[in-house]
Amino acid sequence: MNIRENRDQGSLRVVVTGPIEGHPLRIGAGFAASSFRHEQFAGRMDPLVMVDHYTMTEPTFGPHAHAGMSAVSILFEDSEGQFHNRDSLGNDIDLEPGDLYWLAAGRGAVHDERPRAGARTHGLQVFVNLPARLEHAEPDSLHVRAAQMPVVEGEGARVRVVLGETNGTAGARSPALPMTILDAHLEGSGRYTHALPSGVQVWVYAVDGEAELAASGSTLRLEQGKARALRVNAAGASLELRSESGAHVVLMQGEPLGEPIVQRGPFVMSTVEALEEVTAAYAGVDFGSLL
């Protein structure tokens, strides 16, 4: 049963859209992804701008700039080897399987991520929007190692709290907008219920296997490679993730900004004028450089 978009949604505690499949994306011989963009979700992905579910085995992008948003790398535990991360904030680190790296680019930062020789990086690359008031803030970053992430287990579910909080179990906080990221593995007949704060939007993606989402009295299928977006209208709501045959599901939750998104590649601003300014700043090498 799908919950359709209509004018009566205000009476629903949770409004669910989708399912939506990502667009295939290949760059060179070492990068393959399924790519989701905010336009596909008609505003229900806010504050997310983009999510790429990718596998990378070779250096692909080279040093590049970000501005007006946060670039977030979520590595899955089945990644192999190290993912070398450098940026103009002075960070030079190797991400390990299961790690998170959050770069809040603000007014601008230069970034480079690439698998070490022989490595296979499997994960999500996420662009998170910043409110207009923070578009020109100083850049900041956060590295959370897999061993630092709380793990909730029970009822055939193992849930890594990559960021934020679920049912009283708190992980690290983002250096920008508050966000919860859960990396859930469900066994056959496994289930996990996550309490949903009022006013948030949630994006749920089936990395592997088939899951069901139970919310607001409806149960919806989520097939492998597809995503659904949820808007939470009232307090006391919850979302149950479950699977009969086993699944790997990622949940991302944040408060929507409700602001315009003007994007040019890795630059995200709220107006065309601001986008032109940040593009000119990068051309003038105002973003710093990698060491």
77 is in an annotated binding site: no
Spatial separation of the C-alpha atoms in residues 71 and 111, rounded to whole Å: 9
Distance of CA 167 to the CA centre of its chain: 20
66 is in an annotated binding site: yes
84 is in an annotated binding site: no
Q: Quick check: 27 and 54 in contact, CB under 8 A?
A: no
113 is in an annotated binding site: yes
- DSSP-assigned beta bridge partners for residue 130: none
Q: Quick check: 61 and 110 in contact, CB under 8 A?
A: no
Please give the structure tokens belonging to residue 246: 């086993």
Q: Quick check: 67 and 106 in contact, CB under 8 A?
A: yes
Q: Quick check: 238 and 194 in contact, CB under 8 A?
A: yes
Rounded alpha-carbon distances, angstroms, from residue 266 to 68, 111, 131, 161, 172? 9, 11, 16, 27, 25
Spatial separation of the C-alpha atoms in residues 98 and 121, rounded to whole Å: 10
Spatial separation of the C-alpha atoms in residues 63 and 203, rounded to whole Å: 29
Q: In what order do the strands lie in the sheet with 31-37?
A: 23-27, 31-37, 48-56, 121-129, 69-75, 100-104, 140-144
CA neighbor of 279 nearest in space, from 291, 254, 262, 259: 262
**Annotated binding-site ranges for Fe cation:** 64, 66, 111, 113
Binding residues: 64, 66, 111, 113
